[in-house]
Amino acid sequence: MSQTAILAKRIAPPLFVFILFIGGWELIVKLADMPPYLLPTPSDIYRAASDNWSNLMVSVRTTTLEALIGFALAVVLGIGIAILLALSKVVERSVYPYAIVLQTIPIIAIAPIIVIWFGAGMNAIVIITFLMTFFPILSNTLIGLNSTEQNMKNLFYLYNATKMQTIWRLRFPAALPYIMAGLKISCSLSFIGAIVGEFIAGIGGGDGGLGYAITVAASRLKTPYLFACGLSSSFLGIGFYLIINALSNRLLKSWHESEMHN
């Protein structure tokens, strides 16, 4: 079977369900004669997105920038701190519980404090995004580093490898599947964190993100545009996930079973 046929076989079922869902939505709403402010049709949402395209793209760019910066900070600090914890069990037992405590605190509860400390706007939103994406990366990386086969660690020990050599040449490569799993979780959370941050700490005006646009659309009962903003955030999260998934496939497909294709 050719690659084109295989791809068509994979795409056809979800595409059929999508067309059926959109068509049924459009038909049911029109037959029920629902007003657009209550439940818009897909065509209403498309028109709202087209009519406000320039504003929507500004909001998308703002939210994307905030999400990417917060995610990048989470990757650097999450992996870096996990490596430091993996180097010493004493340090891990001393510090890791506080990371768990930080994760269990609802972000809504500490967001006002973040705004007081860092001010409303980009800085606070990035910090909120970072806090939402940090723990899955830290936790998964640490689990991966601690899951290295003991016989391999003993072999490195016999060859007088230092702790850092063992980390970089053995434990970190072995932890890559866990790290990529953490990145897949956090990449979608980054856009959720950015929009939540915009609800709490966002600044309006022409440069407002999707969170601000959603708030304005809801207050003015512009439900079709509200749906357009919500769907845009969903597409951003899906797109970012697909990028991380492709990176995972590239790094792991030659040696790890999770990415090997029969």
Of the listed ranges 7-21, 37-51, 114-128, 163-177, the one predicted with least confidence: 7-21
pLDDT range class, residue 3, cuts 50, 70, 90: low
- In the CATH hierarchy, which fold is given to the domain comprising 57-256? MetI-like fold (1.10.3720)
- Mean pLDDT across the stretch 122-134? 93
What percent of the chain is modeled with pLDDT above 70? 94
Helix or strand or coil: residue 193? helix
Tell me: pLDDT of 4 over 90: no
Of 185, 194, 188, 190, which Cα lies nearest the Cα of 63?
194
pLDDT of residue 106: 86
More confident residue, 8 or 166: 166
The sign of the CA dihedral 40, 43, 44, 48 is: positive
- Mean pLDDT across the stretch 2-8? 69
More confident residue, 234 or 102: 234
pLDDT of residue 257: 65
Tell me: pLDDT of 15 over 80: yes
- Mean pLDDT across the stretch 20-25? 94
End-to-end CA distance of the chain: give it in Å, rounded: 13
Task: Give the ranges where 210-259 is alpha helix by DSSP (H).
Answer: 210-219, 223-252
Of 142, 147, 145, which Cα lies nearest the Cα of 95?
142
pLDDT of residue 262: 44
pLDDT of residue 256: 66
pLDDT of residue 70: 96
Give pLDDT tens digits for 67-120.
999 999 999 999 999 999 998 888 889 889 888 888 888 888 888 899 899 888
* Nearest-angstrom CA–CA distance, 250 and 252: 6
Give pLDDT tens digits for 134-193.
999 999 999 999 988 888 888 888 888 888 889 989 999 999 999 999 999 999 899 999
Instruction: Report the largest interatomic distance among the alpha carbons of the chain, rounded to a whole angstrom.
Output: 76
Helix or strand or coil: residue 66? helix
Q: Looking at the chain, how many residues does it have?
A: 262
pLDDT of residue 11: 83
pLDDT of residue 153: 85
Return the structure tokens found at 80.
Answer: 């870096």
The DSSP string of 154-176 is HHHHHTT--HHHHIIIIIHHHHH
Domain ranges of the chain: 57-256
pLDDT of residue 193: 92
Q: What's the one-letter identity of residue 224?
A: P
Give pLDDT tens digits for 235-262.
999 999 999 999 999 988 876 666 665 4
